[in-house]
Amino acid sequence: VAKGRGPGQVEVFDDAASHRSLDRLDLRSELRHALDRDQLALHYQPIFSLNTGRILAFEALLRWTHPHHGSVSPDVFIPLAEDTGAIVEIGRWVLDQACRQLAIWHRLPHWRTLAMAVNISPAQLRGTKVAEETLGVIRRTGLEPSDIWLEITEHSYLRHDVTEYATTLRAAGVRFALDDFGTAYSNLAYLKRLPIEILKIDRSFVSGVTGPELDLSIVRAIIAIADSLGLSCIAEGIETEEQRVAVQELGCRLGQGFLLSPPLPPEEATELLRTEYPLDAVRVPIR
Ligand code: C2E
Ligand code: MG
Ligand code: MG
Ligand code: MG
């Protein structure tokens, strides 16, 4: 608790708060070496068709194993990486790594059409060549641009204009998802400006979908917006069978969450693909 805020007086913080801020300073500088020291890894969470139960894509989620603190949440270190600019190099590594993994999975029988969703921070998008660089990474790994979905959060979109980047990549076939939809000041004008194909309904609404009528109404409204604009919807953070049934009955066709599968290390994700064949090998539209 900060005390004595008058001029010349010293602020006293409680122990927990000062430890937290110390940690953040350390983490901030250590993050710069995390890549070189091999402390970063990607886990992959499957995205399912709720109607057929088949896996359509994986979302790549970054993991940082710190030598002393153990696993650090991306919700903590991604903002730090954005602040320091480390996100540029880290983001390049994430895209490269995720593309290589998808190229490997495409060589498995039946999984030629699997897609990969990659989260990107708009802080990665400064500079005039970023769209070409992104396409370069995708093509060097032997993938088609349409194999990749890039996820941008509404929060970050509020702070940076990513329209030009997104338009260039969309023209090449890359698909865009608006992540955590509904958690910022949802300005529907974005949906017109950005070449988005997918809305991800934030987990905070999905978790309330079987509770208060208001949450149910919000999810219904988001799905209605998506439908009328011709966009797909993904329900994020499905944790219970009741939630799965509820979002499906509201017309949401795609879902992700601990009920269906947590994010998996690459070996376990590969095992899942080996045991769960899709019904056929035809490229299905994401809707
Ligand atoms: P996100 O993109 O919205 O990812 C979904 C988050 O929800 C992930 O947390 C995932 O592990 C978690 N999740 C999935 N299913 C469930 C569920 O059923 N219940 C609950 N409670 N949680 C679930 P994670 O991996 O901690 O990532 C947090 C955020 O960090 C991500 O949110 C994304 O915004 C960011 N992030 C992760 N990896 C990257 C990356 O490579 N680059 C960038 N720029 N951001 C990343
Ligand atoms: Mg995401
Ligand atoms: Mg999300
Ligand atoms: Mg999120």
Predicted local distance difference test score (pLDDT) of residue 6: 46
Does ligand 1 have an atom closer than 6 angstroms to the CB of 74?
A: yes
Q: How far apart are CA 106 and CA 73, in angstroms?
A: 29
CB 182 within 8 A of CB 223: no
CB 256 within 8 A of CB 46: yes
Give tens-digit pLDDT for 108-134: 988 999 999 999 998 888 778 899 999
Task: Say if residue 22's pLDDT is above 60.
Answer: no
The pTM of the full predicted model, rounded to 2 decimals, is 0.89
The ipTM estimated for the assembled molecules is 0.98
Atom 27, ligand 1: residue with shortest CA distance: 74
206: Cβ–Cβ under 8 A, 6 or more apart, which residues? 219, 235, 236, 237, 238, 243, 247, 257
Q: Higher confidence at residue 67 or residue 256?
A: 256
Give tens-digit pLDDT for 179-193: 988 887 666 777 877
User: Helices then strands (H, E): number in the chain?
Assistant: 11, 9
Task: Say if residue 198's pLDDT is above 70.
Answer: yes
Predicted local distance difference test score (pLDDT) of residue 180: 87
Task: Give the Å distance between the CA of 202 and the centre of ligand 3.
Answer: 6
Predicted local distance difference test score (pLDDT) of residue 284: 47
Q: Look-up: residue for tokens 């009328």?
A: 228
Q: How far apart are CA 154 and CA 175, in angstroms?
A: 16
Q: Which atom number of ligand 1 is nearest to the Cα of residue 62?
A: 38
